[in-house]
Structure formats: C-alpha cells, structure tokens
Homo-oligomer: A and B are copies of this chain.
Amino acid sequence: MHITTAHLRQIATLPTPSLLLDEVAMGANIERMDAAIAAAGIRLRPHVKTCKSEPIVERMLATHTEPRIAVSTLAEARAFAAAGYADILYAVGIVPGKFAELARLQAAGARRLAVILDSLAMADALAAWEGEPLGVFIEIDVDGGRAGIRADDPSLDVLAARVAGAPNLELRGLMTYAGAAYHCKSSAEIESLSRRERHLALAAAQRLRGAGLPCPEISVGSTPTTLAGGDFAGITEARVGVYVFFDVVMQRLGVCDYADVALGVVASVIGHRPGELVIDAGWMALSSERADTDGSGLGVVLALPDAAGDVVEAPGAMIVRGANQEHGIVARVDGEPIHTSRFPIGSRLCVLPIHACATAAQFDRYERLGAPDEPWSRFGGW
C-alpha cells in the first residue's frame, strides 16, 4: 500500500471505515505469482475466496489461457459461472445437500465443474447421483490439519477406483492443501512443508497410476508454499488466493513486505486516550482475526503522509491492540505513548489487515486508490 500526498484528497472523502485497494501493489503481486507459476512450469488456479470480485480475478488471470478457478462457496461458483468461467473447482468437501446446486451450476455454464472428496461415503453418494458428468479430485491430507485421506491410507486405491468406475464421474486427479504453512516460523520451514506436500501428492498419484487409474491433475495449494519455489515436476497446478492482496500474516512469514500489502481499511480517529487513539474501525471492519503472539493485534497501522509528504510513524510502529464492534484502540508496539496531537480527531489512518480474506469479507466493495468513485463490488454469502 503506497499512499502519497496525491491520494489524500480521495482518502479524505471516503466514508469510514472503507476498504481501500492499491492496484499498483496488486499488479506487482500478480506479476510475482505469475513468474513463480511460470518458473514452476504449472498452471495457475486462483482461489477466488480471497477477493470475491470479478474484475480482480480477471486481472489475476489476464495472462493465462483457458482460465480455471477454485471456489470455497457455491455462491462464488454461481457468480463466476454467470461471468463465463467454465472450469471451476469447488474446493470444500461436497455433501448430498449440495448436489442439486451442482446441476444448476453446470446448466449455468460451469461445463468443467469439479468437486473434492475424501470418503467412500461421498464417492458412493455422487456415483448414485443422476447428474451430468462431474469432475472429482481426491483430497490428500499432507499436514493433518484439516481434511483429506493420507497418501499411505490403504483405502486410497479403493476410493479412487470407486470414482473412476462411476459412469457419471471423471477422476480428474488429486488435490492437497498445506494450511500448516500459515503457522511456519521460517522460510526454511515453509520450503520443507512445500516439498513434503509435493512429495506426498506425487506418492499418492504413483499409487493411483500403479493401480491403472488415471491421475491427470495434481493440484497443490497455498500462497506461501507456491512462492517458496523448488521442483514442481509432476505437479500440474497451484491454487492460490491471498497473494493478490497479501497481509500482515504473510509479512510475518517473510513472504512479503508491508509495502506489498495491497489492501487496507481507512478509518477516522474518533477519540484520544492517554497515549492511544480510538478509531472507527473495530472488529466489524477489521474482522476478529488477531496476531497477538507476534504483537500485531487486529491490524498494523499505516499512518498517512501529511501535506508535505512526511510520515510521522513508520508502518508497524502502531497497531490496533484491541477492538469492540465499531471501535479500535491504536497503540504503539513498543509501549511508548502515541503523541495523540499528531493524529487529531477526524484525521485518518489506514489499517493493514491481519488476514486479507477475513477483512475483505467485512465489506461489499473495494475503493480503488487513484480511481475515486469507481469502486469494485464484492459479494459474500453462500
């Protein structure tokens, strides 16, 4: 987020709190991921759960032919099918209550719709479902964190054979998600997890192929593990979302700098406390995602430049240490008092999000830095 004196007029006229997008930073983030994807020799499948906004996904896929996307909700699938996206992977375990919606999505244009599963129960339920042919990825658990079947689970072959043998299902391959990357303490740890993710995915694919089953695709996940680089031989695509904005969690992981964070919440100073500021961005605007263990609270404050272009506090010097629904309390990280007279009541700040996916979800539009009155809408719901 790079706010200059030229932007101060726009920022002064925004309602607060507002969600602000720096398209220059976003463009650099997109280029960086595109380069990593090209170096890896794989395809990009952007996860639209982070932005939920068509113009942004358009930019994420601008240099990619045959666009493919991942979604976390059927609402995302509906919106992007309506916008003309045919290759959509619903990357949350499917259940029978959602089958009817799959048929509607296919009818609406998602011709290459795929789901994920990790159980015989769902493979059997889908096989018994009388829908149009549907793609299936089997989810492989690489870090014990969430869902998936282990690459060495004896029932993996049975599960894959069940999918491959169903006339209405197409076994498209395997998918993994290395969510543990978000809790790594160093770049070396992320690299090691990324290697492990690819190793386990390839081992599982080997088992399928050894059993005479198809496994055309191996889809891996997460921004940090994809940007960590390494040997992606055998992998076909990466599902990545948060790279488009980045956030404080990514900065703490060493994946980006504060300057790369393309998203911020513009807030007004609504009060002074001894050595602290009260702002009109609470957990409703910032989300309740916290990064307390590393002292980031509910957001890292980016002070705006003054008319002369000077910035009174460096990014990271101040954080939102606590919040109510519509109140945030801003304090210095080093425990020293803020000189509150430098931040008069009514003046404005920008708060970099702890977790961009969560903060963006609290808003229905992106205000675009440098493009006043031309916001991009985003949607929510399921």
Using a CB–CB cutoff of 8 Å, the interface residues on chain A facing chain B are 12, 15-18, 49, 72-74, 92-97, 118-119, 121-122, 125, 146-147, 179, 268-273, 278, 280, 283-285, 287-290, 324-327, 329, 344-346, 357-358, 361-364, 380-382
Contacts and interface: CB of A to CB of B under 8 A. Distances in A.
A125 B269 CA distance: 14
Contacts of A92: 270, 280, 326-327
Nearest to A329: B146
Nearest to A347: B95
A345 B146 contact: no
Q: Is the interface of A mostly helix, strand, loop or mixed?
A: loop
Nearest to A14: B97
A364 B381 contact: yes
Contact of A49 (B74, B289, B325, B346): B325
A326 B268 contact: no
Contacts of A17: 382
Contact of A271 (B147, B280, B284): B147
A118 B327 CA distance: 14
Contacts of A147: 270-271, 273, 278, 327
A123 to B, nearest CB: 11
Contact of A325 (B95, B324, B357): B357
A125 B345 CA distance: 10
Contacts of A381: 363-364
Contacts of A290: 288
